[in-house]
Structures are given as structure tokens and as C-alpha cells.
Amino acid sequence: MSDADRPQIYLVTPPEFDLDVFPGQLAAVLDQTEVACVRLALAARDEDRVARAADALREVAHARDVALVIERHVLLVERLGLDGVHLTDGARNVRKLRKDLGDDAIIGAFCGTTRHEGMAAAEAGADYVAFGPVGETPLGDGSRAELELFQWWSEMIEVPVVAEGALTPDLIAQLGPVTDFFGIGEEIWRDANPAAALRSLLAPLG
């Protein structure tokens, strides 16, 4: 697969992490693999905790010219100097946020397995649409974003698409030709060496 065709990598943080350890792990991954964007996806609801995490990761990401977006917390984007927001509820707020945050902000929308929701988000001004999970996972309702969805999207829609959720090397190989980004998170962070785990996961891309 040529560099022009190879999907870009979009890293997703764990829902919980040690602020003394994780920024160093992230830096090591970014130094070894080219990454387009990092998503801060903390489950924490504490504003101070989220802000401190965002500050630490912004320093790591921006030093390497990598964008940092935050999951859900729209009001923190401008306050913390982040590059944008990742919405988890499909197209619902995309149009309003585009108006609020301006054209330069990255606005992404997770649309589950639903083609219709993805199209609505794209039409509303999303910079990318994410579908998933693409792999087997006991979480959620068991539905998966199938290969056919990405094949259709890559042929019909110009807005970039992200494949994420329970990725494996086999799925990387299948989806590589029909997705713009791979959203990779828990697949590597539970490994003792996340940078090496990422390289192994991406091996099918050549």
C-alpha cells in the first residue's frame, strides 16, 4: 500500500490513566509512529482532572505537530487551547458547534454503525465521521460496523471516515483500502509497550 493510500492513525486515550505515566507513554508512541490526531477520551467528570490531563497531553501532542481533540467536553476546547471536539452522539450538535467553534476547529462525530447518522453528520459540517466497533467486543449491543459500510462510504462520501473499536491486524488489512483513519486506543494501551503494540497492529499496512 502506497503512502498516499495508507490510512492515517488517530490515537484514542484510555478512559482512565495515570497522569504521571501516560504522557510519557504517548510521547514514545508519537515519536515512533506518525499520528494525525489524538483524542482525549477520559471518563472522568471532574473538570480539574480533565483540564490537567488536557494540558499535559496538549504539550506532548503540539510539540510534535499532532492535533488534540477532546471527547464530549465542548466548552473546554477554546478554554484549554485544544484543536477540536469528538462528539459521541452522532449528528445532533454538529451544525451548532460548527457555528460556535468556527471553521478551524476539528469537529468529529461518532455514528456507531448507522449510515444515515453518518450522512447527517457529514452534511452538518463534521470534519470526519467515525463508525464502530468494527471488531468483536462484549461491550455495547453486539452490533458492528461492517466492511460494506466503509466500502460504500469511501465510494460515495468525501468526508473522511474513521474505523475504530476492537481492531485486529486482520481488520486493519481488510479496512485499509476503504478507510481514511484507524481510531486506535485500548488495543495498544493495555500492552506493556504501546509503541511496539501499535507497530504490530499496523503491520498489515506494510
1 in a structural domain: no
Here the contacts of 197-201 (C-beta below 8 Å, separation 24 or greater) are 198/9, 198/29, 198/32, 198/33, 199/32, 199/33, 200/169, 201/167, 201/168, 201/169, 201/172
* Model pTM above 0.75: yes
2 in a structural domain: no
Domain limits for position 71: 8-205
Render pLDDT for 115-158 as a digit per residue (tens, 0 to 9). Answer: 999 999 999 999 999 999 999 988 778 899 999 999 999 999 99
126 in a structural domain: yes
Q: What is the mean pLDDT of the chain?
A: 96
CATH of the domain at 42: 3.20.20.70
The percent of residues above 90 in pLDDT, for the chain, comes to 93
85 in a structural domain: yes
Number of domains making up the chain:
1
Give the pLDDT score at 139.
77
Give the pLDDT score at 4.
64
114 in a structural domain: yes
Give the pLDDT score at 45.
87
| Residue 90 and residue 121 in contact, taking contact as beta carbons nearer than 8 Å | yes
38 in a structural domain: yes
60 in a structural domain: yes
**Cα dihedral across residues 171, 32, 35, 110: positive or negative:** positive
Per-residue confidence band for 2, with pLDDT thresholds at 50, 70 and 90: low
Render pLDDT for 158-205 as a digit per residue (tens, 0 to 9). Answer: 999 999 999 999 999 999 999 999 999 999 999 999 999 999 999 999
106 in a structural domain: yes
